[in-house]
A and B are shown apart, each in its own frame.
Chain A
Amino acid sequence: MHDPENRLTDAYEPEVGTIPSDDEGRDEENVIKTGTTTVGIATEGGVVIATDRRASLGGRFVSNKSVTKVEQIHPTAAMTLVGSVGGAQSFIRSLRSEANLYEVRRDEPLSIHALATLAGNFARGGPFFAINPIIGGVDEEGSHVYSVDPAGGVLQDDYTVTGSGTMVATGTIEGNYDPEMSIGEARALAIRAVRAAAERDTGSGNGIVLAEITGEGVDIDRFDDYDSAE
């Protein structure tokens, strides 16, 4: 019945739910990927995350034109879907459960650093390899943006970009980021970056989704065109 030893949780796996051990044998051709441009910018007032809305098959066919690639995973944090859609969605569900469990057990939310560490551990030890999300959030320490790579690397920065449109979007932000900028200015810069990437990267396009994260919570809005997002 009870095995007291099992109480000690593995640091590299979710506590809740079982996960497939690998993606081997799956038909790579038919795995929907996001291609994607996702941008996260930290300011003193909060974090802005912007993503495009395109999903594609093998980079040749647009399989969905209205994907919401940023989701709330914590009371004051959100994560982007980048890479395999299935992997990213299950990753988000797992992290969200972990954050809920932590908060209900300890009566305080996970810090953003702890959330990013957990995400890195899961990416490192788990089955979610083909993903490259951004985690953005606000806690007692302030605003934070992290990128998580498929091997579990977790890097914090003032702003970060992941996905197939990374080069174009980063070029747009480079030189225009200012740590003093307001959340509104960061939002405008994020829109410009995703817009530029959508113009040049075949994996990105079909409008924009914007998430604004402050100490109050996460607001996510979807727009068909870039002008109305401004």
Chain B
Amino acid sequence: MQGNEQQAYDRGITIFSPDGRLYQVEYAREAVKRGTASVGVRTADGVVLAADRHARSPLIERDSIEKIHEIDDHVGVASAGHVADARQLIDVARRQAQVNRLRYDEPASVESLTKEVTDYIQQYTQTGGARPFGVALLVAGIEDGQPRLFETDPSGTPYEWQAVAIGGSREEIQTHLEDEYAEEMDLEAGVELALRALASVNEDGLDATGVDIATIDVEHQQFSKLSEDDIAERLTEFELGGDE
């Protein structure tokens, strides 16, 4: 039975299985799938991050559900998976963004920031006694006037995307993105695509309090979150099952 063979190799993170797998890293990927989805869309004039953050009870304060975070003026991160793990990585990214400003008096590039984070994640797949991060991130921002969108996964591998989904129902959302994505779309079209992609796996439709959206535009190179009203307006416009 696979169970026995696996058990010998899935205890220690630093041990390869005979067929070259790191089970703990694979389990961490499962943890990401258990999280609600986040979506990133890169457009000609900016990057969009959208996250499903529906609440398990109407009594919870919505703002305490953190899925999208500002890293620096020009960079934002959306997460899927363990929020507590995400917070650690977000702080690494925030500190590294400021180290770059201190050291070079320049904003950190999105690519180098992503790689600082993935190098950090990687060390938790190779160090005895550690556990990998059970979270995937989307790192979005503007670099030298160009929009960039990266993904980090629990193995510490960075990927760059035009549009991507992480977390639960990733495959279905990704298929939606692949069908609908167009390189020349503008930021507003990117917001629409991100919302439609999230809605494609939510049969009951979306609700403005259960979605978080942020954009970083090329013109101002500034991270900004959409207000609940702005989101509600768009959900109504796109007929994605707003509050009404």
Q: Are A and B associated in one complex?
A: yes
Q: What residue in chain B is nearest A122 (Cβ atoms)?
A: B103
A1 to B128, CA, bound (A): 9
Contact indicator per residue, chain B 87-119, by CB within 8 Å of chain A (1) or not (0): 000001001100100111110010110011001
The answer to whether A2 touches B123 (Cβ under 8 A) is yes
Residue A11 lies at the interface, judged by CB distance under 8 Å to chain B: yes
Q: Which chain A residues lie closer than 8 Å to B102 at the CB level?
A: 11-12, 121
Contact residue among A8, A11, A105 (Cβ-Cβ distance under 8 Å from B112)? A105
A→B interface (CB under 8 Å): 1-2, 4, 7-9, 11-12, 105-106, 110-111, 113-114, 117-118, 121
B→A interface (CB under 8 Å): 92, 95-96, 99, 102-106, 109, 111-112, 115-116, 119-120, 123-124, 126-128
The answer to whether B127 touches A2 (Cβ under 8 A) is yes
A12 to B96, CA, bound (A): 14
The answer to whether A11 touches B103 (Cβ under 8 A) is yes
The answer to whether B105 touches A117 (Cβ under 8 A) is yes
Q: Which chain A residues lie closer than 8 Å to B106 at the CB level?
A: 111, 113-114, 117
Q: What residue in chain B is nearest A15 (Cβ atoms)?
A: B103
Q: Which chain B residues lie closer than 8 Å to A7 at the CB level?
A: 116, 119-120, 123
Distance in angstroms from A134 CB to nearest chain B CB is: 18
Q: Which chain B residues lie closer than 8 Å to A118 at the CB level?
A: 103-104
The answer to whether A4 touches B104 (Cβ under 8 A) is no
A117 to B119, CA, bound (A): 25
Contact residue among A4, A8, A114, A117 (Cβ-Cβ distance under 8 Å from B96)? A8
The answer to whether A8 touches B104 (Cβ under 8 A) is no
The answer to whether B103 touches A4 (Cβ under 8 A) is no
A7 to B119, CA, bound (A): 8
Q: Which chain B residues lie closer than 8 Å to A11 at the CB level?
A: 99, 102-103
A12 to B128, CA, bound (A): 31
Distance in angstroms from A102 CB to nearest chain B CB is: 8
Q: Which chain B residues lie closer than 8 Å to A4 at the CB level?
A: 120, 123-124, 127
Q: Which chain A residues lie closer than 8 Å to B115 at the CB level?
A: 105
A221 to B111, CA, bound (A): 38
A114-B103, A114-B104, A118-B104 known, 20 other contacts, Cβ within 8 Å: A1-B127, A2-B126, A7-B116, A7-B119, A7-B123, A8-B92, A8-B95, A8-B96, A9-B99, A11-B103, A12-B102, A105-B112, A106-B109, A110-B104, A111-B104, A113-B104, A113-B106, A114-B105, A117-B104, A121-B103
Distance in angstroms from B118 CB to nearest chain A CB is: 11
A72 to B160, CA, bound (A): 34
Q: Which 7 residue pairs across A and B have the least CB separation, nearest first?
A: A11-B102, A114-B104, A117-B105, A11-B103, A4-B123, A2-B123, A2-B127
